[in-house]
Amino acid sequence: MTIESLHADEAIAVRLMQAIRADAEAACAPDALDLVSVTLDLSATAEAPGALVYTPRIDRKTRTILFTSGSAAGPAGAVMTATVVYRIRPAG
């Protein structure tokens, strides 16, 4: 299965999670991240997930937990938002 074979809302969720994860990994390198929880909120539909802008954000970082979020938006505004919590696992 590829992203192209998913429904539009599923493809948006995957792309948004990829953007959030990449940002989180960069913020916590060289430590590893374990997913704790995800909440996705769909506020509109979009036919072209690839045309949306995916914006991740670090909300708060402690020694062991990372709170992050992000949004997928098009010309008419936000289509999907996500909040994600990761456990930070020290490297080594």
Q: For residue range 71-91, what is the model confidence (pLDDT) as tens digits?
A: 999 988 899 999 999 999 998
At 20-67, the pLDDT tens digits run 999 999 999 999 999 999 999 998 877 788 889 999 999 999 999 999
**Per-residue pLDDT averaged across 2-26, rounded?**
88
pLDDT (0 to 100) of residue 4: 64
Residue 1: pLDDT over 60: no
Spatial neighbors of 52 by CB under 8 A, at least 6 apart, are 12, 15, 46, 72, 73, 74, 79
Please check the confidence at residue 3 and state whether its pLDDT lies above 60.
no
